[in-house]
Amino acid sequence: MTLTVRPARDRGHAEHGWLSSRHSFSFAHYFDPAHMGFRSLRVINDDTVAPGAGFPTHGHRDMEIVTYVVSGSLEHRDSAGNHAVLPRGGVQQMTAGSGIRHSEYNASDSEPLRLLQIWILPQRDGLTPGHTEAQVSDEAKRGRLTLIAAPGGDGVLPLHQDARVYAAILADGETVRHAIAPGRGVWIQLVSGALRIGDVALAEGDGLAVEDAAEISIAAVGGAEFLLFDLA
């Protein structure tokens, strides 16, 4: 088993006043050839958006974009006519495909918004653009790995890639296990708290790449919330 930590302190950082963004992988003006992504996972941005501020309408192509709302409330609009307001626990998937334009704003005039913006490369270009949203309560994530996105949907957010995304909230000392099929890899992104995987300790914002493992055991230290990506 090979475990490679991506420390939170080493991530790229963009500060725009209305937006503070931490980049696990190369993004926009932050470029690090050693951190271009992991398998089909291309972007994990940990964004804090000031009240009333946000990303004005802009375009994307040929990417699967997943958003995970950590705190606050996100307002989404896109060129396909979709409109959604997502509080904590809100998750959304957007297939940019052949081209889509959208805006993302903090829906509150008084509270900051924190979200994880995730980009996954699709299996092919030129897909029909689409948007799906869901609400996943804290209770649904407690003590377990809860599937939030997968190929074809399977009752959760659909992905046009052989990738599965799980979310979990663990109490202090609680442990979950995840089996990994041969040839696959796992990325863990710690949203809050602390984790231990084998001899590796993770703190808030840290990422971990897992290769050449049949199973991993993930234990919370003082409680934790995290995402797990299982990737071909």
By residue range, what is the domain housing residue 86?
2-231
Does 153 score more than 80 pLDDT?
Answer: no
Average pLDDT value over all residues in the chain: 96
230 confidence band (pLDDT: 50, 70, 90): very high
Convert the pLDDT of each residue in 15-71 to its tens digit: 999 999 999 999 999 999 999 999 999 999 999 999 999 999 999 999 999 999 999
Which of 28, 30, 40 shows the shortest CA–CA distance to 66? 40
- The pTM for the full model equals 0.97
pLDDT at 155: 74
Q: What is the strand order of the sheet 54-60 is part of?
A: 54-60, 100-106, 74-78, 83-86
Domain count, the chain: 1
Convert the pLDDT of each residue in 100-121 to its tens digit: 999 999 999 999 999 999 999 9
Burial class (CB in 10 A: 0-12, 13-18, 19+), 49: buried
Distances (CA, A) of 56 to 17, 28, 117: 15, 16, 15
- CATH code for the domain in which residue 157 is found: 2.60.120.10
